[in-house]
Structure 1
Amino acid sequence: MQRRRAIQWFIAMFLVFAIPAGIAATTMDRFELHLLMHPFHSAGWDSFFRWGTHLADGLVPTAVALLLLLYKDLRSFLMLGLAAGLSAIVTQLLKRGPFADEDRPFMFRESLGDLHWVLELDLHHHNSFPSGHATTAVSMCLALTILIGRPTWGAMLACLAVVLAYSRVYLSQHFTADIIAGGAIGLVVTLGVYHLLYKSRFSEKPWLDRRLWRVQNQ
């Protein structure tokens, strides 16, 4: 029950931000929306988002998954590992397949006028849609919510996922639609992995609850 409530809190908090942003992304000019999504900027915020965005790099969930493999059961490792890995694969297939021609904000800098650019950053040019960082942020934070199983953590981790996703817009590495799509992929894939590992017949496999050291000593 606690785990289900935690998931519900995560989804609710995520949708509080995602629904208005999604509506805006489908009804507004993307350049106008991108400018609207930059109501503030400073050297402090530049540094905060420039470094904070790395929490949604693929290396972070990989490192956390390996720690789970060493210190928790295999179910926990697979929950985070499969959620982050499968959602990343879906995003990359879309990014480099049907949406390969979607360019990033820097390619439209003339249309964006006096937008503040974080020039210390390596600004990418292509493969904008969907956002891989947003996918990772949502999949990792939702997987951690499932593992922790506390509603308060669900709400806090959802807010963290939103901040990490927004960092990609603040840094002008993505448009708003990119992070909405990436976040949706992370959400759907992670919920699918959750069903597989906690709700399906497969979830009844006894080896899922074994720890790595027990496997090694058999």
Structure 2
Amino acid sequence: MPFLYIWGLYTLALGVLVLRTEKLELHRAMHPVSSPFLDRSMALFTHLADGLVPTAVALMMLLIRDLRSFLMIGLSCGGSAIIVQVLKRSFSHDRPSMYRAELGDMHWVSGIDLHHHLSFPSGHATAAFSMCLALAVLSRRRAWGYALGSLAAILAYTRVYLSQHFTEDILVGAAIGTVTALVVYQWLYRSAFSERSFLDRRLFT
């Protein structure tokens, strides 16, 4: 599946960086360039991984496709979101804004409401990867798999660019979103349950 190639490369690259580089040093290094245009673009683009977007996409699938499509997106995003919230409260890591003095004169995007706590893992990165993988499954086209994998990677990176998360946060969030979506895929498309005829029923015709 092309999406998994993108995720694998993303995980390998970020994993090496996280293991070999001190957290604050890596956060500074993840901001090689900045500009007013990039600031505005990242601040706008990151909202595609807000919780409301996956919800809207899932409901759209219910309207224009079938119950299976709705469940693929809804369970992938909803299930991964629950896992993330449990982990956030278990680890309770601080966000980059709490290390502003240590990060020095690094570029900070103005006009952003910076959060301070519950950094690990990133909910936005999780939502981006679970939603995009679910959509890749539904599209069944290799080109869309590559495109959606790239979109998920960019959406996750916006969280680091905006200093809402550290690199390790988006790395683990991406893994949670991807693995959860894969589990849902196996259940809805490969298990005995997947043969239930009502899953392919269109509720609105």
| TM over 0.5, shorter chain | yes
Partners of 1:26 and 1:86 in 2: CA distance: 28
- Distance in 1 of aligned mates of 2:57 and 2:64: 11
Confirm whether residue 141 of structure 1 aligns to residue 148 of structure 2: no
Partner of residue 15, structure 2: 22
* CA deviation string 1:84-143 (max 9, x = no partner): 0000000011001x212x000010011101111112010000000000000000000000
Equivalent pairs: percent with the same residue? 56
Aligned to 1:33: 26
Distance 1:11 1:213 in 2: 32
Alignment correspondent of 1:99:
91
1:39-188 → structure 2 map (5 Å cutoff): 39-96=32-89, 98-100=90-92, 102-188=93-179
Q: Show CA shifts across 1:49-99 (max 9, x none).
A: 000000000100100111111111100000000000000000011001x21
Secondary structure of 1:146's counterpart equals helix
Secondary structure in 2 aligned to 1:109?
helix
TM (norm. structure 2) is: 0.98
Structure 1 unaligned spans of 5+: 1-7
**Residue in structure 2 matched with residue 11 of structure 1 by the alignment:** 4
Report the Cα distance in structure 2 between the residues aligned to 1:138 and 1:213, rounded to whole angstroms.
28
Structure 1 residue runs of 4+, over 4 Å off?
none
Q: Give the aligned length.
A: 205
TM-score calculated relative to the size of structure 1: 0.92
Give the secondary structure class of the aligned counterpart of 1:62.
helix
What is the alpha-carbon distance in structure 2 between the residues aligned to residue 141 and residue 63 of structure 1? 13
SS in 2 for 1:122: coil
SS in structure 2 at match of 1:123 = coil
Aligned-partner Cα distance in 2 for 1:162–1:128: 18
For the aligned residue pairs, the C-alpha RMSD in angstroms reads: 0.8
Equivalent residue in structure 2 for 1:199, among 178, 190, 198: 190
Alpha-carbon distance in structure 2 between the residues aligned to 1:119 and 1:23: 30
Partner of 1:5: none
Runs of 5+ in structure 2 lacking a partner?
none
The alpha carbon displacement at 1:213 in A equals 2.8
Match of 1:212, SS?
Answer: coil
